[in-house]
Structure 1
């Protein structure tokens, strides 16, 4: 169940990282475009400012024939500043302060050019008393340019910081996508490998000369269903098999086993037959099946030996000899699924060790199976669910607890199976008459009712 949740988490992680990568990439592209636009505005202002400076220098030198004093040149300079203003308005990302500054700059440039009185295609140098007015106008142009560029530089710094953060986010999203994608590929290969192993195991059972046990076949099918995340189908299979076994056992114990209707007998034979049916029914009711648990546990461990050896798991067994009330097959399956749960739990631990301890406490037997790995599951896995259903059939119960180390950290879990003890009983075989060998079903009821049915 935990692996299934991890698998679903990986899918969500791949999806979210893909969406994040696309979103961050789109934001990075948009911010890079804005950064380029601001750079164009800044470069344009610097070029326009240089043209104004060339005109101012020519006016200081008194070179009225200079190209920089030509009215066409100064008009082109004003158009340059106007184009920069249009870029700012189209950008729509700069503050209102920058927009006001560049509008004021356009006005200062215009009045600077107006302060140079021109004739024809050029400007004439003003007299000394007008030079201070030209200096004042150009100084306003310079101040406007400097303050505007300072605000633009501050905006550029903000864009640089945002671009840096987006680069980090873009790298992180790409890393998560690559890592989760690689993880998913590895898990899929591992899943395919597990499926091939189950298929090989099933094929081995088909071609084997040995008779396959019901438990072994069920284990293969359950593993195949769980690998395909069909947990409910797995539980359905086990529950159905248990119901079939229970029906057969109930039929053998109480309802429909050979013993019954005979016709054509005289009254003495009818009475003897009815008495025999009654005695055998009493015997069936009184006998409670019992099982020696210690060799049964060893059998289960031997059955899982291949997995234990392959994973390097050590099993420490220390069990009291005890006779337990319950069918041998049912108890074997309980032990199998409890030990199987412990075996799977060691996948999450470095200390691959399973401890199986059993102790008789009066009329009950306390079986503890401890394994290192994860603690007690909040939701029961398939193996534990099946074991709980089975143990209830032998009037037992199960308890669960966590294992702790010296630092009080959870290092594993403990599954306790509590069973009822009993005494081994042997039923002496009774001689069966030829008439009884022809019996076809069991009759329930009192001796009088049985005799009445035999007479009918």
Structure 2
């Protein structure tokens, strides 16, 4: 589970760090903004309370008929009105949207305060005695009460907005504390990961140096493990897939080139005359990669000079004649493998081996029936006998056709090939001791060698470099498919001569 989580988060680690940093900046900014707004709304509420207390002082002074009081002076009242004006300006500058309703109410309150002061100035100086009390209460008492109602309305709206700001402030506080904890952890994780990657790269470099300095530089499986580990450590999964694809293609190409001879390749005759062309054709047939074939008598000059404007070289028919003359047949690969499986069906069933066959019914090869059937039989016997209890007991048989070459692969989860055996069998370390090769492999190799078929052995490793299977590969020459077109002859001549021959 831990490995899965690491593999999932590894490519996103730097993104998580950037997101957490951005979130921390956002939370810090939001925290400061909301704190500043709360401070401003507290100042606003204090300002409204201060301004209204001045109105209350003027009202009280009028009630007690203190005509000489400072609170009833024109300067004091003007300052009170300026106080409301500044408070209104502050509200509109800072909370024009959030407190739009309160702004209108405060504007009305400011206007009413002005008219209240005018009314106070007009009322006589009777004080609380006689009819003066009734006059004062009737003229300014009710008006003062309306001012108190508007003040309370403004303060109530500001209190509601203050509660909203407090809730947002708490959210930003929690976000800030959480991100302040997570961001350093992500940063520390990134530093440790970079350090770990550097150490792993250093280990890969050291392993590569030791590998090149040792005698195992020819072991491609170990080299592949070093390269694969370095690529995976640096987060290059696509390059790893490219390596796997290249390995498969290169292996197939190498196997194909090992068998395909010059006669199976397209060759351009560059001779200046018929004699030089004849010499090149002789060379092509003499370079055949099938050792048991005898080269037939080469075409003579008479055949090449049948016509001054045309030369006919039946390459495909000559090759088939050569193969048939040596006892080779065009055999269907599916039938050959099916017969081998049928011969050991009871052994496969008893051993509990799961056999998977992936063979196209159209694939045909040049081979000798007895040799190839016996070789495949002994291969199958060896694979089934060497299935261990923990090997998975599986055998996969598949074919691939690459041009004029057919590859037959046997992949088994049974016993793995020893390193000494692979070095010996692949010619890396020559040894006369082939004790690592059991009797069935010996028989199979002898049978395929007699018919010029290549046989190779290798171990199959997974992405971690652990050997998980063994594989034997046979390489055959593909037989001509009757459904495909064949090159029957090659005609030479000028364009006009070719057109004239075609029209005839």
Whether TM exceeds 0.5 here: the answer is yes
Instruction: Indicate if the aligned counterparts of 1:290 and 1:323 stay in contact, CA closer than 8 A.
Output: no
| Contact 1:290-1:425 at 8 Å conserved across structures | no
Structure 1 residue 22, shift from structure 2 partner = 3.5
The answer on 1:98 being equivalent to 2:105 is no
Pairwise CA distance, 1:105: 1.7
Matches within 5 A, 1:230-249: 230-249=236-255
Whether 1:128 aligns to 2:139 is: no
CA distance in 2, matches of 1:40, 1:5: 51
Aligned length: 318
Q: CA distance change for structure 1 residues 226 and 279 in 2, over 3 Å: closer, same or farther?
A: farther
2: distance between equivalents of 1:246 and 1:136? Answer: 105
* 2:382–2:441 contact (8 Å) kept in structure 1: no
Give 3-state SS (helix, strand or coil) of 2:409's partner.
Answer: coil
Summarize deviations over 1:35-92 as a string: whole Å, max 9, x none: 3332222111111112122222322333222212211111111111122122222231
Q: What is the deviation of 1:149?
A: 1.3
Deviations 1:369-425 (A, max 9, x none): xxxxxxxxxxxxxxxxxxxxxxx9525599xxxxxxxxxxxxxxxxxxxxxxx9544
Instruction: Report SS of the residue matched to 1:44.
Output: helix
Question: What is the distance in 2 between the residues matched to 1:108 and 1:293?
Answer: 109
1:178 aligned to which of 184, 191, 199: 184
Q: Does 1:221 align with 2:224?
A: no
Going from structure 1 to structure 2, the CA distance change for 1:236 and 1:114 (only over 3 Å counts) comes to: closer
1:165 Cα offset (Å): 1.5
Which consecutive unaligned segments of at least 5 residues does structure 1 have? Answer: 266-273, 295-319, 325-354, 367-391, 399-421, 433-441, 446-456
Residue 156 of structure 1 pairs with residue 156 of structure 2: no
1:8 aligns with 2:42: no
The alignment partner of 1:394 has SS state of strand
Cα distance in 2 for residues equivalent to 1:61 and 1:443: 126
Change over 3 Å in CA distance of 1:393–1:124 after alignment to 2? farther
The TM-score with structure 2 as length reference comes to 0.52
Tell me which residue corresponds to 1:339.
Answer: none
The worse-fitting range, judged by mean Cα deviation, of 30-39 and 1-10 is 1-10
Partner of 2:43: 40
Q: CA deviation at 1:159?
A: 1.1
Stretch of structure 1 that moved more, 2-11 or 131-140: 2-11
Return the alpha-carbon distance in structure 2 between the equivalents of residues 64 and 393 of structure 1: 121
CA distance in structure 2 between the aligned counterparts of 1:142 and 1:163, rounded to whole angstroms: 31
Q: Which residue of 2 aligns with 1:73?
A: 76
The runs of 4+ residues in structure 1 deviating greater than 6 Å are: 260-265, 291-294, 442-445
- Structure 1 residues 95 and 201, CA gap change in structure 2 (3 angstroms): same
- Residue 390 (structure 2) pairs with residue 356 (structure 1): yes
Does residue 322 (structure 1) correspond to residue 327 (structure 2)? The answer is no
- Give the match for residue 60 of structure 1: 63
CA gap of 1:234–1:257, structure 2 versus 1, over 3 A, is farther
Residues 356-378 of structure 1, C-alpha deviation per residue, up to 9 Å, x if partnerless? 3344xxxx659xxxxxxxxxxxx
- Aligned CA distance change for structure 1 residues 106 and 293 (closer, same or farther; 3 Å): farther
Equivalent pair of 2:62/2:72 in contact (CA under 8 Å): yes
Deviates more, 1:145-154 or 1:203-212: 203-212
Deviation at 1:283, TM superposition (A): 6.7
Match of residue 137, structure 1, among 136, 139, 143: 143
TM-score (norm 1): 0.57
CA distance in 2, matches of 1:223, 1:393: 30
Q: CA deviation at 1:5?
A: 4.6
Q: Is the 8 A contact 1:290 1:424 kept in 2?
A: yes
Partner-residue secondary structure (3-state), 1:65: coil
Give distance in 2, aligned partners of 1:66 and 1:23.
54
Secondary structure of 1:356's aligned partner:
coil
Residue of structure 2 in register with 1:403 after alignment: none
* Larger-Rg structure: 2
Distance 1:323 1:139 in 2: 103
Closer/same/farther in 2, CA of residues 55 and 125 from structure 1, 3 Å limit: farther
Alignment of 1:84-95 (within 5 A): 84-91=87-94, 92-95=96-99
Query: How far apart are 1:211 and its partner, in Å?
Result: 5.2
- Corresponding position of 1:166: 172
Q: Distance in 2 between matches of 1:215 and 1:443?
A: 28
Report the secondary structure of 1:147's partner residue.
helix
Q: 1:197 aligns with which of 189, 199, 203?
A: 203
Distance in 2 (alpha carbons) for counterparts of 1:89 and 1:241: 74
